[in-house]
Amino acid sequence: MMSFSWYDADMPTMTIDTLRDRLNKWKGIDIAKTANPVFGYGNPKAEIVFVGEAPGQREDEQGKPFVGPAGKLLDELLGSIDLKREDVYITNVVKFRPPANRDPTPEEKEACLPFLQMEISIIKPKVIVPLGRHALTQFFTKLNITDTHGKPQKVGDKLTIFPIYHPAAALHNPGLRQALFDDFKALGSFLQEQKS
């Protein structure tokens, strides 16, 4: 397990808006010079944060995460547990679209990780939902999405990581669609238990 010391970091002068402004000016990796920044979106006081891997073409064009086909499925999945985008915060590990939608490189993930950590430190969610293997490995380097999807992983007494397959996986492999809905149902039950 990675250190989560950044989760409790105090961000007195940093807000989501100032962090977004910082990202908009940042050119620390090659793809930042050719793609538009895609910062997180949603409720900055959300108790749950969804983390994908990287923006695709539609996200690059609109500057928002999960607005393409995977985003439509994510909206449907959220609705299945009575959540809307306005209730949650949605972001990505990598903040710029890799060319031709290739997988992000380890260097790109590492370079963008401080932005993700600062987003989470400002929001202070109770639950982080990594969507897919690229997001999961930013929190647990040794866990595998196939073995852990739908199973909450406690981190101390304030935070739970709840891995789920990436919605795009079900678009490429329709056999995973039911697993995604089952994982969201498990997530919904977990969130209800936390309230009681």
Stretch among 10-19, 96-105, 160-169 having the lowest mean pLDDT? 10-19
Q: Residue 77: enclosing H or E segment and its boundaries?
A: helix 69-80
Separation between Cα atoms, residue 186 and residue 178, nearest integer Å: 12
Separation between Cα atoms, residue 106 and residue 97, nearest integer Å: 14
Two structure tokens written together for 101: 């939608």
Separation between Cα atoms, residue 155 and residue 3, nearest integer Å: 10
pLDDT exceeds 90 at position 128: yes
Tens of pLDDT, residue by residue over 143-194, are 999 999 999 999 988 899 999 999 999 999 999 999 999 999 999 999 999 8
Domain boundary assignment for the chain: 33-195
For 66, residues 6+ apart whose C-beta sits below 8 A from its C-beta are 50, 52, 59, 74, 90, 167
The whole-number pLDDT of residue 10 equals: 72
pLDDT band of 91, cuts 50, 70, 90: very high
What's 33-195's CATH class? alpha beta
Separation between Cα atoms, residue 99 and residue 175, nearest integer Å: 28
Stretch among 1-5, 95-99, 140-144, 172-176 having the lowest mean pLDDT? 1-5
Classify residue 103 by its DSSP letter.
P
For 36, residues 6+ apart whose C-beta sits below 8 A from its C-beta are 60, 61, 63, 96, 97
Average pLDDT over the chain reads 93
Distance of CA 101 to CAs 31, 120, 126, Å?
11, 25, 31
Classify residue 101 by its DSSP letter.
G
The whole-number pLDDT of residue 2 equals: 55
The pTM score is: 0.94
